[in-house]
Amino acid sequence: MHLARFAASACALALAATGAAVAAAPASDAATGAAASSVYSVAPYVDMSNGQEGLLDTAVTGHHLKAYTAAFVLGVGCNQVWGDTLPIGNDSYTDPEIARAKAEGASVIISSGGASGLPLAWTCTTQSSIDAGYQALIDDYGVTQLDFDVEGAAVADTAAAARQMQAMKDLKATDPDLRFSVTLPVLTSGLTNDGVNILKAAKNAGVRIDVVNIMAMDYYAGTGTEMGQGAIDAARSTLAQMQSVDSGYGYANLGITPMIGKNDDGSTFTLADAQTVENFAAQNGVGRLSFWSVNRDQPCGGSANSLPTCSEISQSSLAFTDAFVPYEGSSGGGGGGGTTSDFSLSLSPGSASVAQGGTATATVTTATTSGSAESVALAAAGAPSGVTLSFSPASVTSGGTSTLTANVGPSVAAGSYPITVTGTGTGGKHSATYTLTVTATGGGGGSDGGSPANAGFEGGGLAPWTCTGGSTLVSGPVHSGGHALQVTPDSASTGECDQTVTLSPNHTYTLTGWVQGPYAYLGVSGGATASAWSNGSSWNQLKVSFTTGSSGTVTVYVHGWYGQGNVYADDLALS
């Protein structure tokens, strides 16, 4: 069996159709996120079942590629095989290819999982067998880095994630040089809630993921999507989520993996996009740059999206390899080179909905990404007349946090306003966008609770809900009134509708809503995390209890599940 085509579609919530994971960029200092000197800053994927590994040899010997990621090892019960169904350590095709590339001077990262496979911790429930299986990968191939690609419904398997992180903790205890990455689906707005829970599983196990790798591809936002900027947006959003779970994460713990050429959704990642991403990585000390895949790094005239053996764009052979390889030696590569100080800046939450006369807050988080900590002065621009913005404190030392407060006057026009928050330090400037949605008095959830705005979906449109995919209002089925929300998942997306509301800080609330459909989810994220789901063909009420944090801000969401049918929601309320 070849894994050249892993899935019919691998959008932002599933890796590419040839779907690969990104290798881990190890962080030697768990407390600061600083990268080890042996970090593989560039490590593109090679489909070891594709039959075109000759390009790998050319990339190593003729194009200075120093590391690559061999994909995929699959869990089968408590055993492991390569994608061509041959066992690890005894694959007459894959093993010699790995040995040859190593002999030619390339370091190797072994990747498990993929869009149509699972890492061992997802197929085996015996912890000792999981630990032994991963140790066998290390021993059989003489590697120090492992990668785990977790996609589709597997992302929501919290028991498997706990086993995975326990295995990494166990193996790191006996081999401190071991580094691992976890590759997760992403949108330009960041990880899904299930993806954030993977980070929390690591936190709960007492281990830090050396590199959280994002699948910067297939956003299904239209074929004109600017894929370079999309990758940057996804990276910034993901780092903020990472730091909300563990403040020790930095850009050195982040990996970015685009799908070169034509993506499954018809969008195109170009050589210009590659330069955009590399520039961003160098400026911020991103831990890993990769792409899917070396096998595709050549032109062809195919007509299907995401062909496994070529990029389907005009390029020279190994042009993307040539574009990314210089990052290996750049001062930004992995955050380990150079002495120039620099920092990152992120916001959590990145948006809020507040009624006229109300207040919204967000946490501004900074981190030192290279050199020494520096003073960062904070400023904001873009607020409409009647909105006052302030920071407490107004400047921080990189690694510190500040609270952004937006006081909305009673006469501010309802609408959505992008506000640019900028930090200025000796290493330059970095910015993030905070979207402030002002609702008419009584909407948007107030500080005293009540329903989110348009909670019965009778407002004539979806606003202020923000939805993905084909979500829409429908006139049937409805629980009450004339309309309900329809969320439409597909094979690579759960579909989701979100609304951020500001409530009383440190207060317990109950979110209720009526839903029907397969795997209908109702929950909150951001300032609190809780959810419930049901699987029924008739209306039933879900109840989710949660306690707000210091900001009082949470995001209410509804979503379905990959490849399942439509989910309907109506009559949401907070009490």
Q: Are 86 and 116 in contact (CB under 8 A)?
A: no
Q: What is the largest CA-CA distance in the chain?
A: 73
* 448-458 confidence digits (pLDDT tens): 344 688 888 87
Q: How far apart are CA 498 and CA 4, in angstroms?
A: 35
Q: How far apart are CA 465 and CA 194, in angstroms?
A: 20
Residue 3 has pLDDT above 60, yes or no: no
Helix axes 193-205, 158-174, angle to 10 degrees: 40
Q: How far apart are CA 175 and CA 538, in angstroms?
A: 53
How high does pLDDT run on average in the chain? Answer: 82
Residue 269 has pLDDT above 90, yes or no: yes
* 299-337 confidence digits (pLDDT tens): 987 777 778 889 999 999 999 999 998 887 553 444 333
Strands 428-439, 466-467: pairing kind:
unpaired
Q: Which residue bears the tokens 């062809």?
A: 300
Supply 160's token pair: 């498997």
Q: What is the pTM of this model?
A: 0.57
Q: Are 389 and 376 in contact (CB under 8 A)?
A: no
Tell me, what's the pLDDT at 440? 59
29 sits in which H/E element: strand 27-29
Residue 342 has pLDDT above 50, yes or no: yes
Domains of the chain: 27-335 (3.20.20.80), 342-439 (2.60.40.10), 466-574 (2.60.120.260)
Q: Are 151 and 160 in contact (CB under 8 A)?
A: no
Q: How far apart are CA 217 and CA 418, in angstroms?
A: 25
pLDDT-derived band at 53 (thresholds 50, 70, 90) equals low
Q: How far apart are CA 268 and CA 266, in angstroms?
A: 7
Q: How far apart are CA 71 and CA 82, in angstroms?
A: 8
Of 447, 368, 352, residue with least CA distance to 404? 352
Q: How far apart are CA 249 and CA 167, in angstroms?
A: 20
Residue 64 has pLDDT above 70, yes or no: yes
